[in-house]
Chains A and B, each alone.
Chain A
Amino acid sequence: GIQVEQSPPDLILQEGANSTLRCNFSDSVNNLQWFHQNPWGQLINLFYIPSGTKQNGRLSATTVATERYSLLYISSSQTTDSGVYFCAVRLYSGGGADGLTFGKGTHLIIQP
């Protein structure tokens, strides 16, 4: 099956710093999503970005589908940004309902 690798696995930053999280995937995809898992376990949708660039406030994401990677940028980090960030992809499946394949996540800690 498709492989999804996220880096770095852990990241500790001071409040106000910027960060870049990377997601590499091994096959062509028709869905790529970034999630933030909060301390209560809930998965918060950040971006649906199978290709191109999107921005939402201090967060932005870029997916280069032809090179099979995606980047999540967090600027001016706040303590509330702490948590685990997941990248998840879905293969082209000819109309099936195959679910998402998740990476192992990046555990981000923002220190005050």
Chain B
Amino acid sequence: SQTIHQWPATLVQPVGSPLSLECTVEGTSNPNLYWYRQAAGRGLQLLFYSVGIGQISSEVPQNLSASRPQDRQFILSSKKLLLSDSGFYLCAWSRMLGNTEAFFGQGTRLTVV
């Protein structure tokens, strides 16, 4: 069966510090990968998606970037965090074709102080 791992679960970082969140998927190959953010309250917003190694699409302009160095690894990064980067970040995967049901990781709660 497929599983998705995301870490760390919580993170407190000072303004101006770098960020690296990692997500890995097991039990499938060539998945579509996604990063979402949930700001305080409700509502999830798609940040990045990837259909393959090195292929990244950005949905919204922001202080963050994403990379996919391996087929089942997706990384969210920032060189200098802003207060507005605080939020709950979720990684997700889906199959490329057919049933495109998305499955989410446990999320990382980031607080920028």
B2 to chain A, nearest CB (A): 12
**Interface majority SS (helix, strand, loop, mixed), chain B:** strand
- Complex CA gap A7/B15 in Å reads 37
Residues of B in contact, count (CB < 8 Å): 29
Most buried by B among A90, A100, A107: A100
- Complex CA gap A107/B41 in Å reads 10
B112 close to A (CB within 8 Å):
no
The interface residues of chain A lying within 8 Å CB-to-CB of B106 are: 40-42
- From the candidates A33, A41, A102, name the one contacting B43 in the complex (CB within 8 A): A102
Is B46's CB under 8 angstroms from A97's CB?
no
B97: nearest residue on chain A (CB-CB)? A95
How many inter-chain residue pairs (CB < 8 Å) link A and B?
A: 61
The interface residues of chain B lying within 8 Å CB-to-CB of A14 are: none
Is B104's CB under 8 angstroms from A99's CB?
no
A58 to chain B, nearest CB (A): 21
A103: nearest residue on chain B (CB-CB)? B43
A99 to chain B, nearest CB (A): 4
Is A102's CB under 8 angstroms from B44's CB?
yes
- Complex CA gap A82/B85 in Å reads 28
The interface of chain A, by Cβ under 8 A from chain B, is: 30-31, 33, 35, 40-43, 45, 48, 84, 86, 88, 90, 95-102, 104-105, 107
